[in-house]
Chain A
Amino acid sequence: MTTSSDWAVEAHGLVKVFGENRAVDGVDLSVRAGTVYGVLGPNGAGKSTTISMLATLLRPDAGSATIFGHDVVKEAQVVRQLIGVTAQFASVDEKLSATENLIIFSRLLGLSRRDARTKTTELLEEFGLTEAASRPLAKFSGGMRRRLDLAASLIAQPPLIFLDEPTTGLDPRTRSQMWDTIRRLVTEGSTVLLTTQYLEEADQLADRIAVIDTGRVVAEGTSEELKSSVGESSLQLRLASPTDVAPARDLIRSVLGVSAAVSPEAGRITAPMTDPDRITDLFVAFRERGIHLTEMSVQKPTLDEVFLTLTGHGVDADAAPADGAAAAHTSPKESVNA
């Protein structure tokens, strides 16, 4: 049985229209409390708009959403007490120092003067900003600004944290620091909903991922589920002798029952791996026939491939006639929900 607060976020059919543009076109999301949920999609897919509606910044045009069971429209003020938002563009005061920013947000959140000061010192320390605390933000690097932004979202220790593209524009080192911070938040019991354009980021951090494109969720599941929905792993072999290529292909056909592809560079064979159990049989057969391998590897599909396949912007971009928003509900929704 699930109680309302088992779910940090439940959204059904969220819609937001800006003029002609259906920025969010019927998004469903369910985020279990205590997990990291990744919303993955290209620029302009509707990620930020979705977050804005969940965070009470925008009013949905249709559909409904609850945060820990509280409606985002009817109980907006309650929802605001349960969330922390780090928006895509630093939502801190540029003209003030880091300390002043945090003090003001703390005071607005109802902390007493003394508690606000303690909390500010604590957060500055935690996010490595103590040295720069009194400098105006104009002199902050992108990474520092992001850290301050995140710190500001954590003042009230909200049970749910929205991170809108938390690492966009950060260098690799700062990015991995941010990832560590996000992981720590979850071990401390927070639920995190993050959006990202980076497949690696979703793969690394998120327990579950929703792939979103042109305002719709096109796939949802764990990163493993998403990967396997796109295709199986493939077996890659390099043969010691190029003359063995033809007999090796015959063996693969007879043992695995699939046809292998030979790559241009002689001696490299790629075969789809439908049943890993049968691979042993293949190798035994190779040995019996005296076919020698110099290299063997199993290639899993990357999230990149998943993404491209699902959004159709990739390799086999479908040239379906764009019949626009009129056919809004005929979109194929691929559900890989286990």
Chain B
Amino acid sequence: MTTLSPTSTTPRLTGPAGRPLKNHVSVSQTIRHSFTMAYRGLLKIRRTPEQLIDVTIQPIIFTLMFTYLFGGAIAGSVADYLPLIIPGILVQTVITGSVVTGTQLREDMDKGVFDRFKSLPIARIAPLAGALLADTVRYAIATTLTLTMGFILGWRPGGGFGFVVLAGLLVIVCAWALSWIFAFFGVVARSASSVQGISFLVLFPLTFLSNAFVPTGTLPSWLKWFAEGNPVSHLVSGVRDLANTGAITGNLWLALLGAGVVVAIFAPLTVRAYMRKA
């Protein structure tokens, strides 16, 4: 314990844990802080498991619902619809799950604890990075559950286990990329409910105006044009190709390219807006 007395010897000031004072945070510290913040995110999930409803119950219900609702009408039978719908539901569920990143970030930033984070000598970016990191766990849960549901309903993907895992990873990567959009809304919006509002406005056209649930063949030409250009469609096709036939196609690369573009645009925007507030 350092004793500070104004009259005696000048105290030697050190940072926490006796480290010398430094005015910058190193890369390794930044990574450590981000992982600690991600750990915090996971602890919060464990404390409030109801947060996971959108990535646990929803994939089960949606898979059941859409499969039996559309199966006969769209593909002639449930069994024929499964290879189409499971990748579609998978993409839709996981991407929907990424909206939560934004709302939770907003809620977090409004709370008192955020003031403490700001007063700590940690990397400014850590709370944001931690949130984005922790949410990949949510995507993994949603992915596993949807794929398992598909398997239970009788889906036997031709690509085999390895390619199904690869397809799952592809979805998680793309959802993570999209979560930057919602994180951006989370940083700039005034309230958590407005984040949710804006996010769903972006999300619904993206996920439903795609080939996730129906083949695009019957769509009016303008809609077809949108649905086929939609990066979500490429993602869905990429997942179908991987899981059902074990093929790595152009769709996969287009989906990854789309994800890359989103990150390239929204990561700097989000970080800049975030740092201004942090």
Q: Enumerate chain A interface residues (CB-CB to B < 8 A).
A: 3, 5-6, 32-35, 55-57, 68, 70, 74-78, 80-85, 87, 89-97, 100, 104-105, 107-111, 115, 136, 152, 155-159, 188-191
Given A33-B11, A96-B47, decide whether A104 and B36 contact each other with a Cβ distance below 8 A: yes
B159 to chain A, nearest CB (A): 40
CA distance A65 to B99 in the complex (A): 40
Q: 9 smallest A-B Cβ distances: which pairs?
A: A156-B16, A81-B15, A91-B116, A80-B121, A91-B112, A85-B119, A109-B16, A189-B3, A189-B4
Besides A3-B10, A77-B22, A159-B11, 14 more A-B contacts (Cβ < 8 Å) are A33-B5, A78-B121, A81-B22, A83-B119, A87-B115, A92-B113, A100-B40, A105-B120, A109-B122, A110-B16, A157-B1, A189-B4, A189-B5, A191-B4
Which of A34, A68, A96, A152 lies in contact with B116, CB distance below 8 A? Answer: A152
Chain B count of residues within 8 A CB distance of the other chain:
41
Contact status A82-B15, CB under 8 Å: yes
Contact status B13-A57, CB under 8 Å: no
B240 touches A (CB below 8 Å):
no
Closest A residue, CB atoms, query B4: A189
16 sample A-B contacts, Cβ–Cβ < 8 Å, listed by A number: A57-B115, A77-B23, A77-B121, A81-B22, A84-B119, A87-B115, A89-B112, A92-B112, A94-B111, A96-B40, A108-B37, A109-B121, A115-B17, A152-B116, A155-B16, A191-B4
Contact status A80-B113, CB under 8 Å: no
A90 to chain B, nearest CB (A): 5
Closest B residue, CB atoms, query A85: B119
CA distance A301 to B47 in the complex (A): 53
Contact status B17-A93, CB under 8 Å: no
- For B117, list chain A residues within 8 Å (CB): 108
- For A115, list chain B residues within 8 Å (CB): 17
- For B24, list chain A residues within 8 Å (CB): 77
B25 touches A (CB below 8 Å):
yes
Contact status A156-B111, CB under 8 Å: no
- For B39, list chain A residues within 8 Å (CB): 104, 107
Contact status B33-A108, CB under 8 Å: yes
Contact status B2-A159, CB under 8 Å: yes
B118 touches A (CB below 8 Å):
yes
B44 touches A (CB below 8 Å):
yes
B121 to chain A, nearest CB (A): 4
Contact status B6-A93, CB under 8 Å: no
Which of B19, B21, B44, B126 lies in contact with A110, CB distance below 8 A? Answer: B19
The winner among A55, A56, A83, A110 for most chain B CB atoms within 10 A is A110
Which of A56, A93, A155 lies in contact with B118, CB distance below 8 A? Answer: A56
- For B25, list chain A residues within 8 Å (CB): 77
Contact status A5-B121, CB under 8 Å: no
- For A94, list chain B residues within 8 Å (CB): 111, 113
Closest A residue, CB atoms, query B12: A5
- For B121, list chain A residues within 8 Å (CB): 77-78, 80-81, 109
Contact status A78-B22, CB under 8 Å: yes
- For A97, list chain B residues within 8 Å (CB): 47
- For A81, list chain B residues within 8 Å (CB): 15-16, 19, 21-22, 121
Given A95-B47, A188-B1, decide whether A109 and B113 contact each other with a Cβ distance below 8 A: no
B64 touches A (CB below 8 Å):
no
A166 to chain B, nearest CB (A): 14
CA distance A146 to B5 in the complex (A): 28
B57 touches A (CB below 8 Å):
no
Contact status B1-A90, CB under 8 Å: no
B48 touches A (CB below 8 Å):
yes
B38 to chain A, nearest CB (A): 11
CA distance A35 to B4 in the complex (A): 10
Contact status B22-A34, CB under 8 Å: no
| Contact residues of B between 53 and 104, Cβ < 8 Å to A | none
- For A189, list chain B residues within 8 Å (CB): 1-5
CA distance A33 to B19 in the complex (A): 21
B3 to chain A, nearest CB (A): 4
Contact status A109-B120, CB under 8 Å: yes
CA distance A32 to B33 in the complex (A): 33
- For A152, list chain B residues within 8 Å (CB): 116
- For A33, list chain B residues within 8 Å (CB): 4-6, 11
CA distance A74 to B13 in the complex (A): 18
Given A81-B15, A95-B47, A104-B39, decide whether A34 and B4 contact each other with a Cβ distance below 8 A: yes
- For A3, list chain B residues within 8 Å (CB): 10
B43 touches A (CB below 8 Å):
yes
CA distance A155 to B15 in the complex (A): 12
Given A34-B6, A57-B119, A96-B43, decide whether A156 and B13 contact each other with a Cβ distance below 8 A: no
CA distance A236 to B172 in the complex (A): 80
Which of B17, B22, B114, B115 lies in contact with A156, CB distance below 8 A? Answer: B17
Given A81-B121, A191-B4, decide whether A96 and B16 contact each other with a Cβ distance below 8 A: no
CA distance A190 to B2 in the complex (A): 9
Closest B residue, CB atoms, query A52: B115
- For B126, list chain A residues within 8 Å (CB): 108
Closest A residue, CB atoms, query B45: A95
Closest B residue, CB atoms, query A76: B23
B23 to chain A, nearest CB (A): 5
